[in-house]
A and B are shown apart, each in its own frame.
Chain A
Amino acid sequence: MDAPKTMTKPKGEAREAERAIDRELMQRVVKGDQTALEDLMKRWSRPVYSLALRILRNPQLAEEVSQDTFLKVWKHAGVFQEQRGAFSSWVLTMTHHGSIDALRRAKARGSQVTNTLDNVVAATLPSPRGGVSTWQRVKLEEALATLPEKQRQVVELAYFEGHTREEMAEIMGEPVGTVKTRLRDAVQKLAAVFRDPEEALSQAPGFQ
């Protein structure tokens, strides 16, 4: 008989502890505590900058967008509500918005993607579930690598390059409907990573 599975610490518990730290820091930011903002930047400036650089492929622009993201964190701290979502999701969504906006401006396409307060609020609705763990990120990378080429391409075009569906159809030389269907299929496959039974079990309280 196999020995029961044991884990030193349920993965869900570690993630919840991280969320609690972000939550506490944001409560202090709302009260105007700049050291809390500094602590948030120590925790999140690297993934924020990494995402911006991945999209923009320009260190100066990426730094500018990353700085803007944290200024928005400060400005809209009162709008963000932790019960609506994880800080990680909110800050990465704002980074993504800002990066795509900057990319479009840089390419002088004439698109008017605005990053208004409405978009900042919308970025929190609805809340995803408790952020993304390191394990899930690794699994997601694996899933991305195993997607069929065209599905991987639509994800790249949609998320990392910010193309509209019409632009994607033109780039790929296919109808818009086909592109949308392909993107739906790709995202549904990637979503399966977050429904992995092993991960779900590891989040159960007192799992050993």
Chain B
Amino acid sequence: MIHWLFHKLGLKSCPACETLVDYALDGLDSPQQGKVRQHLSDCPSCMEQVRDFMQVKEGLGLTAPESDVPTDFNAKVLSRLQKADPVCVRETSSSKSDRHLGGWPRFWMTLGPVFAVLSLTMTLVALGALLSHKNSAAPAQANELAAIGNALMSDPKAAHVQMVSAEAGQTASGSLVLCPGRREAFFKAANLSKCPQGRNYALWMKRGDKAERLARFSAEADGSSVYLLNLGSSWDGAMPAEFMVTQESGSGVGQTWMKGSLKL
């Protein structure tokens, strides 16, 4: 009531209640959703109303008459998961109700050897491509690291960027060293562990609205390593610049894991 009064008196620029209901029930298009979401971040009273409406939405979802789930539902989901991301395959307990080997265990027993040969072949091809790729990087040998790392870090023009985790609760961190005019960068990462989506990451540089991928690399299993990155083009030294380490997969650029910036 008070919220309605404030709105009518023009004391607040809150959206109409109908709009908040539409927001909660997914009745707005993306631009409208964005505007409401922005308003909610500043308006506790509207936020409370939307929370009420979203609780109604969740409750409505639970009023659907209960139906038995189709048989082998869990196994089918896991089978689709493995086809999409075989790197994350792990043993799962088979259902106690299974009387015979079915579902995904039989799938792996019959076609497992075929997939093993195919995977090995594809890994060898990919490794060859990776080693010859200009932007590829690999954990460098100690003596090579020492030489190039020392050169980079002792260069008076070198820029040191502290990278911190982009997400609350994550512990990934790193330090990036790059030098204007040089196409190598030295990157030391900690806790950049293999995530469920894979091990491939990329280093990006962003200035204003423009983002450029500088290099790609694969994370080591222990999550901490030193990388000598071959940049696609040398960094020109212009600042300010933001740097990000993002996770990459077959479906494109994923989550940002680390970020850091260079200011003037």
Interface residues of A, Cβ cutoff 8 Å to B:
30-35, 37-38, 41-42, 45-47, 49-51, 53-55, 59, 63, 66-67, 70-71, 74-75, 77-79, 81, 86, 88-89, 92-93, 95-97, 100, 118, 122, 125-129, 131-132, 136-137, 140-141, 144, 155, 158-160, 164-165, 180-181, 183-184, 187-188, 190-191, 193-195
Contacts and interface: CB of A to CB of B under 8 A. Distances in A.
Prevailing SS type, chain A contact patch = helix
Contact of A184 (B17, B55, B77): B17
A136 B93 CA distance: 35
A195 B93 CA distance: 42
Contacts of A70: 77
A74 B81 contact: yes
Contacts of A190: 56, 59-60
A191 B57 CA distance: 9
B45 to A, nearest CB: 12
A41 B69 CA distance: 10
Interface string B53-86: 1111111111111111110011011101100100
Interface of B: 17-18, 21-22, 24-27, 30, 33, 37, 40, 47, 50-70, 73-74, 76-78, 80-81, 84, 88-90, 92-93, 167-168, 195-197, 255
B21 A183 contact: yes
B56 A47 contact: no
Given A49-B70, A49-B73, A126-B47, A180 B22 contact: yes
B53 A92 contact: no
Contact of B93 (A35, A75, A88, A93): A35
B64 A53 contact: yes
20 contacts: A31-B196, A32-B196, A37-B77, A37-B81, A47-B61, A49-B70, A51-B62, A74-B81, A81-B168, A88-B58, A93-B57, A96-B57, A126-B51, A128-B55, A137-B59, A155-B60, A180-B22, A183-B21, A191-B53, A191-B56
B19 to A, nearest CB: 9
A145 to B, nearest CB: 10
Contacts of A100: 26
Nearest to B193: A31
A205 B59 CA distance: 23
With most chain B CB atoms within 10 A of its CB, the pick from A46, A165, A184 is A184
Given A30-B196, A49-B67, A181 B51 contact: no
A131 B58 contact: yes
A46 B66 contact: yes
With most chain B CB atoms within 10 A of its CB, the pick from A50, A86, A136 is A50
Nearest to A155: B60
A86 to B, nearest CB: 8
